[in-house]
Amino acid sequence: MNRTLKIDLITTLLLICLGLILRIALQDFPNISPVAALALFAGYLLHSRALAIVVPLTVLVVSDLYFGGYAPAVMATVYVLLAIPVVAGRPLRNLHKRHQTHSLRTVSVGGTGLLFAILFFLGTNLAVWGASSYYTRDWIGLVECYTAALPFFRQTLIGDLAFVSVFFGSYAMFRVWINVQSRQAVAQ
């Protein structure tokens, strides 16, 4: 097993553990979850896209065993929509390698987090509208569904943007710290 794969496996395990701890610890805060941010971060950090997808899906499966399931169509939609940010991770990393400005990195990470929060809101509520008997199967029912979901969207935005900031910000600070340590070791 090569060094990169070992590091990816260890990182995958750590991200899964972090995701499970946070998701369970935050269970009393509806729609505030680290999963989308973890998916984006895993896609950014890990060399293996397959391992990156394992992160959000494992967090969801294991924590849903703890929380319990819900409507299968909605559950499948949630899983797919929370795995999709993985695919944006590598292009985001490549963008960051080409452009060293911190403001561009911040905007690109925040904008990507915002984009996936909006996609999650639109997709999951479409699934709720289609799978439930709460709303009529017409435009009025669809509008009612999205309107009723707006408070949850606010929570999703807060959670996604906070976790994207924490994960990517911590990683950036860690890289700066490593560079400082390396320079000090060379200087001595």
29-46 per-position pLDDT tens digit: 989 999 999 999 999 999
Alpha-carbon gap, residue 81 to 45, rounded angstroms: 19
Q: 10, 47 in Cβ contact below 8 A? A: no
- Dihedral angle computed from the Cα positions of residues 6, 8, 13 and 18, in that order, rounded to the nearest 10 degrees: 140
CATH code of the domain containing 143: 1.10.1760
Count of structural domains within the chain: 1
Please state, in angstroms and as integers, the Cα–Cα distance from residue 149 to each residue in 11, 73, 128, following that order. 34, 17, 10
Alpha-carbon gap, residue 33 to 113, rounded angstroms: 13
Domain that holds residue 85: 3-187
- Indicate whether 139 pLDDT > 70: yes
61-115 pLDDT, tens digit per residue, is 999 999 998 889 999 999 999 999 999 988 888 887 776 666 666 678 888 999 9
Q: What angle do CA 48, 52, 57 make, to 5 degrees?
A: 145
CB contact set of 81 (below 8 Å; sequence gap of 6+): 116, 119, 120, 123, 124
